[in-house]
Amino acid sequence: MSQRRLQQKANQKGRQKRTDAQSGVAAAGTIANVDSNAGKDATGLSPARMRFARIAATAGFRWSLALFMAGVIIVALALSIPHEFAFFELGFLFTLSIYDLVLAMLGISVAVGMAGSRREIYLIVACFLGVMAPMMLAFDPIFHAILQSPLGETLFLIAPIAVMLAGVVLWLPARARRIGAPLAAGVVGFSLSLFIGLDDFGIGIQEFTLTAVLGALWILLAPGLLLRNFRGPWLTIPARIIGSWLVVIGIIVMVSLYVPLGNDAPALADPSMPDNGENGGQNGSQNGQLDAPALPPLDPAVEEGLQDAPDSGFELLLPEDGGNPLLNGSTLDLGPALRPDAVPDLGPDLGPDLEPQPQPNNQPDAVR
């Protein structure tokens, strides 16, 4: 009996210890919840808002926001204030007008925001400027060399390819994106340099070129540096969605370049035909207009300047007396000549009473 009682007492003590331990844990959890709720009530902010407030207080966020807003304010002022645009304004706005390349640069900017280190950002900028700098400094010889190469026949495909590459980069994993993003930035820079060089007409306006490149750098870096403050795993899915859009847009632009442009405008009416040729005839087309005359094809040698154009049989004669050369040596019949002393009839001369006065008959003999 004594052993049984001792065992029961030991069991009771064990149950009491477990009960006390459980009650202590519950009390500690209750105190923690009360403290967290008290802290939340004291600040009035959710964890997401507290994280945003903490990021907004950093110097990196303020600098990136200032860079982004500086470009927005410059563009807003340039477009809202009526004035004559200077070359440096036209260069910055010209970059913004190339819509497909702007989308490509925004895709590269998202890759900048997802970069794991500053070294990746420096590499992207170096590849972008490394392609544009020689193109801008020696555009004419480089462009003529490109035209002589097989690439000259497909230059119109560079822009849509750049857009698609920017979209593909956003689908790559982080390790492959370190190589793909600089390559895509180089292609975008090459395409943009072609637009700037051809729009500059070879006269080398330094202000236009410089601000066009600065505008491209702003598009490439400002959104990405601002987004970089909030980088995290959540950015992967939105980046891939943006990349898909860029690939589709690039495909649409590329296909549109191969679609021939249709001529839906009706032919002009022929005034020498009855009803101005509007009712058609035996030789009329389906819309009632006359078909254009078929001209013989021009010899390719003449088009290339290797041979002179055939003589059409017309020779312009320059009169020695200084007459009109368009008459080709013939006189223009202007009708019977008037007498030197004839006075033209200038109409009735209304007097103060606004009544017509009789006029003398000074008409020429031919008219009488």
The yes-or-no verdict on residue 286 having pLDDT over 90 is no
pLDDT of 216 over the 80 cut: yes
Percent of the chain at pLDDT exceeding 70: 57
Which token pair is 148?
């002589």
Of 316, 310, 319, 367, the closest CA to residue 344 belongs to 367
Which residue did the predictor score with more confidence, 117 or 16?
117
Region 41-60 average pLDDT: 76
The pLDDT, as a whole number, for residue 32 is 46
217 vs 295, which has greater pLDDT? 217
Q: Is the pLDDT at 250 greater than 90, yes or no? A: yes
Q: What pLDDT is recorded for position 222?
A: 93
DSSP three-state, residue 284: strand
More confident residue, 247 or 19: 247
| Number of C-beta neighbours around residue 321 at 10 A | 4
Confidence of residue 25 (pLDDT cuts 50, 70, 90): very low
Question: What are 104-113's pLDDT values in tens digits?
Answer: 999 999 999 9
Greatest extent of the chain over all pairs of C-alpha atoms, in Å: 167
| pLDDT score for 139 | 86
Please check the confidence at residue 7 and state whether its pLDDT lies above 80.
no
Q: Which of 151, 238, 139, 247 is nearest to 195 (CA)?
A: 139
